[in-house]
Amino acid sequence: MLCTMNYLKQPELVIKLAAQGIKRMWEINVSDCPCKSSRLKERLKAAENINVTNGLVDIANTEP
């Protein structure tokens, strides 16, 4: 964990390690991810419809 006292006393090291971690995350192959954007949009739209149908959202508070 980068928030332990050892690391907090060495901010340059924390920045270096955090940057390495972020770079590694960008290298993850997501080509077979089940949450591709088109599927995710479909799932979000379905959840939106359920929320509206069940009165869980106030349409008056939505943006045009």
pLDDT, tens only, 21-52:
999 999 998 887 776 677 778 888 899 899 88
Question: Residue 30's pLDDT is what?
Answer: 81
Residue 55 corresponds to which amino acid? Answer: G
- Look up residue 43 and give its amino acid: R
User: Higher-confidence residue: 42 or 9?
Assistant: 9
Q: How confident is the model at residue 64 (pLDDT cuts 50, 70, 90)?
A: low
Compute the average pLDDT of residues 18-22.
Answer: 94
Measured between its terminal Cα atoms, the distance across the chain in Å is 43
Domain layout of the chain by residue ranges: 5-61
Computed over every residue of the chain, the mean pLDDT equals 85
